[in-house]
Amino acid sequence: MQVAKGVASEKNAATGTLIAVVGPSGVGKDSLMDIARHHFAGRDNLRFVRRVITRAEDAVGEDHHAVTPEAFEELSKSGAFAVSWQAHGLGYGIPADVYDDLASGHVVIANGSRSALDAFRAAFPQLVVVNVTARPEILAKRLATRGRETAADIEARLARSSEPLPPDLHVVTIDNSGELDLAGTELVNLIQGLFRK
């Protein structure tokens, strides 16, 4: 697996909090972020990151900036990403302009990767990790319902091992085994609490 890259720069003086939402495929990361996006619509001190991904533009789910693997590599080399990583045969990048929002004290929320959390920590001094969980038997059903991946891809996603999260991170766990709205409220409350800080 390619090592995730994080940018450590003077921009690390940023004051805002970056929330990285992580968890296994199908656990509900994007669905929970959609609830929070809807709840906080119109707030100018909260940014939902549009990731750069080497995935087809019209793929189901997350709204992303689709690029070819070649373009992704160029963007990566030119410093366009605060953090980038590879998983599921795809490249993912968090645009470096999130540092502008963080420098303004905004809360920034992004779909992250458990395998890239060391890079997230290096890139974002005020990092909060939202670790979304659900009972394993639920994941397969949800991925089949979503229908974005082939059966083989779904199997590979379910087989992806999950190491324990790196120590010394600020981790908040949200169980999304039950009603989506309940877990969504937990995420909304967490974000609301960060605004009060």
Ligand X SMILES: Nc1ncnc2c1ncn2[C@@H]1O[C@H](COP(=O)(O)OP(=O)(O)O)[C@@H](O)[C@H]1O
Q: Which residues are annotated as a binding site for ATP?
A: 23-30
- 131-170 residues in contact with ligand X (CB under 6 A) are 142, 145-146
Is 29 a binder of ligand X (CB under 6 A)? yes
Is 115 a binder of ligand PRP (CB under 6 A)? yes
CB of 22 to ligand PRP, least distance (A): 5
C-alpha torsion sign, points 178, 176, 60, 47: positive
Neighbours of 187 (CB within 10 A): 24
The 3-state DSSP composition of the chain as helix, strand, coil percent (nearest 5) reads 40, 25, 40
Q: Using CB under 6 A, which of the segments 64-72, 74-82, 161-169, 174-182 binds ligand X?
A: 174-182
Mask for 53-92, x = binds ligand PRP (CB under 6 A):
---------x------------------------xx---x
**Could you please report the per-residue DSSP string of 84-141?**
EEEETTEEEEEETTHHHHHHTT-EEEEE--GGGHHHHHHH-SSEEEEEEE--HHHHHH
Orientation angle between helical segments 151-159 and 136-146, nearest 10 degrees:
150
Q: Which residues contact ligand PRP by CB under 6 A? A: 22, 25-26, 29-30, 62, 87-88, 92, 111, 113-115, 157, 160
Q: Which residues contact ligand X by CB under 6 A? A: 23, 25-31, 61, 142, 145-146, 176, 179-180
